[in-house]
Amino acid sequence: MISLVVAHDEQRAIGYKGWMPWNLPEDLKCFKQITLHQKIVMGRVTFSSLKKPLADRFTYVVTKKKDYKVPYDNVCVVEDFIALLEEYKKKEEILFVCGGALIYEQALPYVDEMWISLVDGKHSADTYFPAYNKEEFNIESKQKKDGFTLLHYVRK
C-alpha cells in the first residue's frame, strides 16, 4: 500500500530554499504520529536537508547517483523508485512517500491514500506539490488544527 504525506498551502507550495515556508510544530507532530515505526521514502535532496534520519522509521532514499552512500543502518539507497512503488503496491505493508516534489509527482499514480496538511494562506515558495485530481479520492477525515487542516484522502 502506498500512502503519501505532505504539507502544502492553498497554492500547493511545499518548500522554500530547501525547507518548509512555515513553522507549524503541530503539523510536524502529525507527520511523526502518521509515519512513526513505518517505512518512508524520500528523495536524496529531501533526505539531505535533514540533520539525520528520522528516528524510529526505516527510510528509503531515492537517487540516481550511483556512488551515493549513507552511514545509517535504518536507511537504504534506491535507484529505481518505480520498482519500489510497484513492490509496495502489492503489499499490505504501507510505504509513506514524504517528498520532494519530483518524488511526489512520480508517486501520485500509485498512491492509495494521502495525508495532506492544508496550510492556511499563501506562502513564498520555490517548490510545489504537483496538481492532483481530488475527484479520484474520497475524504476519509478532516481535522482543523492550528494553522492547517489535516485531510485524509483515500483513492476511490
Residue 58 lies in a domain: no
- pLDDT at residue number 106: 98
Answer whether residue 117 is part of any domain: yes
Does residue 132 belong to any structural domain of this protein? yes
Considering the domain boundaries, does residue 96 fall inside one? yes
Distance of CA 91 to CAs 1, 16, 42, 78, 122, Å?
6, 34, 19, 18, 37
CA–CA distance from 27 to each of 88, 146, 156 (Å)? 26, 9, 26
Q: Is 73 contained in some domain?
A: no
Residue at 67 is within a domain: no
Q: What is the residue range of 93's domain? A: 2-39+80-155
Query: Is residue 25 very low, low, confident or very high in pLDDT (cuts 50, 70, 90)?
Result: very high
pLDDT digits (tens, 9 = 90+) for 58-74: 999 999 999 999 999 99
Q: Mean pLDDT throughout 124-147?
A: 97
pTM strictly above 0.75: yes
What CATH number is attached to the domain comprising 151? 3.40.430.10
Beta carbons within 10 angstroms of residue 151's beta carbon: 17
Is residue 45 one of the residues assigned to a domain? no
Flag whether 59 is in a domain.
no
Domain count, the chain: 1
Tens-digit pLDDT profile for residues 80-116? 999 999 999 999 999 999 999 999 999 999 999 999 9
User: What is the C-alpha separation between 129 and 150, in angstroms, rounded?
Assistant: 16
Say yes or no to pLDDT of 51 above 90: no
